[in-house]
Amino acid sequence: MPKMTTFSEYDGLGLAELVRKRAVTPGELVEAAIDRIEDHNPTLNAVVYKGYEDARRWATEALPDGPFKGVPFLIKDLGMPVAGWPRSHGSKFARGVVDTEDGGLTARFRAAGVIPLGKTNTPEYGITGTTESAALGPCRNPWNPNHISGGSSGGAASAVAAGIVPLAHASDGLGSIRIPAACCGLVGLKVTRDRNPNMPDGFDYALGNVVDHVVSRTVRDSAAMLDATGYPEPGSPYPAPPKERPYLEEVQRSPGKLRIAWSSETPSGRPIDPEIQDALERTAALLKGLGHEVIEKGLGIDYRALFASRGPAAAANFAAGMARLIEQVGHEPEPDELEPLTWASLKAGRRQTGADVMRSLQETRMLNRQTLAFFEDVDVYLTPVLGTPVPEIGFIDPVNLEPKEVNRRQARVFPFTPPFNFSGQPSMSLPLEMDSNGLPIGMMFTGRYADEATLFRLAAQLEKEAPWKDRRPRVWG
C-alpha cells in the first residue's frame, strides 16, 4: 500500500484506481487528507469548515461506483448546499445559515464517488478575484503565502495546489475558476453555460453567467468529472448542446491542426506586464511548433459597451439573491455585516427598474454576437488569464479599500475573463508558465460555444509537451 505521504502525488482518477484495486480504503484517503488540512491550513486558510466526522462516516458506507469512488473532495462555501453544513457565502451576515439538503450538483458530485471533507474559503458573495474577506480572512497561495490564491474559488485552488485533495468544487461568474487556477498553477475550466445544471438551487446564477465545475491538477480529472456531472436534467430549460463522446476519451485524441488566435488586447487598451507578454508569446510559439496555425488577432469587440450593458442585470441579480438570503436570515444586514463593495453592489441592485434590467439583458445578448462571431473562423482564442503577476495579499482588499479602487485594481489584474461568461463559451486556464518570482502564469484557451471537446484535446496535448505535474509549490502535501 502506498504511504500516506505519497497520496498527494496522485490525481483523483489515480486515487480511485487505488481504491478499486483495494490498495487503499476510502477511510485511509480521508485520514490522509485530514492530516494535510491540519498541516497546511494554518498557513493557507483554504478550508473554512471541517466536516471530518461526516466524511469519516461516509467513507465507511457504500459509495457510488463513480469515477472518483473514495476520493476526498472539498466544496466551495458559496452557492453549493450540503445537507447539515453551514454556507456562509464568505459573509458575516450569512453565518449561522445551515442547509437542510444537498443541492443538485452536490448530489452529482456524490454520485461520482467523492467524499466531501469540508468547505473552502471564498470572498464575500464571490464578488472579487481575490479570496480575502472580513468573515473568513485571507486565503494564501501555496507557491508563496504572501500572495493571493485568486478568487472567488481561491480556497479550492489553494487546497488542490497544496496537495490536500486532487480536485475541488469551484464556480465562475467573471473568472472565478480560471483566475485561481492561474494563480495556483492548476487546470481550471469554465464550462459552457448550463453544461453543469445547478437546479433546483440555481436562482443566483445570473441566467447562465455563473457556472460550476472543479479545479484540478490534471486535465483528465477535469474531463472525467464533467463526464460525471455535465448532463441535462429532464426539466433543464436551456440544456447545453450534447457532446459527441465522453470528454475522457477526448483527452486521448489528437486535436488536429487548429486555427488559434492569440492576443494581449485588453479592454482598457493598457499593455499587460512585460513578463506576462513574454510568456504569452512563448505559448504562441509552442502552439506553432506543435503544428497549429497561429495568428495574432484580438477579439476587437466593444468592451466598454459590453461591460456597461451587463451592469444593471448583474446588480439586480445580486439584489434578488440577497432578498432570498435576507428572508432566510430573518433580518436586513447590519452596517458591519457587509463589506463596502458588497453594500455598493446591493444598493446599486435595488435601484434598478424592470426596464433597466430588460434593456441590460437585451444589449448584452446583442453585443455577445460580436464575441461569438470572432469564432466563425477561429477554433481557439489564447490570452493570459491575468494581466500582471499574481498580486500580494492586500493589493486588492475588498475589506479596507474603497469600492471604486477595488474595481480599478481588479480591472488591471483580471482583464481577460469576463466576456466568455457573458457569451457562455467554455474557457480554460492551463499552468504553462512560471514567473521570475516562482509564481504560476496561467494561459487561457477559449473555444466555440459548447466545444469543450477541442479544449480538452488541446489541453491534453499541452500537458504532454509542457508538463506541469512535477512542479511543486512551497507548501506541498
Give the phi and the psi of residue 49 in degrees, each rounded to 5.
Answer: -140, 130
Give the phi and the psi of residue 63 in degrees, each rounded to 5.
Answer: -95, 145
Catalytic residue among 8, 133, 149, 152: 152
Q: What is d(CA 144, CA 390) in angstroms, rounded to the nearest whole number?
A: 10
Q: What is d(CA 116, CA 63) in angstroms, rounded to the nearest whole number?
A: 12
Catalytic residue among 91, 176, 309, 429: 176
Q: What is d(CA 456, CA 296) in angstroms, rounded to the nearest whole number?
A: 22
C-alpha cell at 393: 495579499
Can you say whether residue 207 is alpha, beta or left, with left for phi > 0 and alpha for psi between -120 and 50 degrees?
A: left
Catalytic residue among 76, 92, 190, 243: 76
User: Strand 140-141 vs strand 144-148: parallel, antiparallel, or unpaired?
Assistant: antiparallel
Catalytic-residue membership of 176:
yes
Edge-to-edge strands, sheet with 259-262: 167-172, 211-216, 187-190, 427-434, 440-447, 380-384, 259-262, 293-296
- Cis peptide bond upstream of 267, omega within 30: no
C-alpha cell at 47: 478550508
Catalytic-residue membership of 133:
no
Catalytic-residue membership of 464:
no
Residue 313 and residue 363 in contact, taking contact as beta carbons nearer than 8 Å: no
Specify the residue for cell string 461506483: 65
Instruction: Provide, for the chain, the percentages of residues in helix, strand and coil under a 3-state DSSP scheme, each rounded to the nearest 5.
Output: 40, 15, 45
What is the secondary structure of 147-160 as a DSSP string?
Answer: EE--SSSHHHHHHH
What residues are annotated to the active site?
76, 152, 176
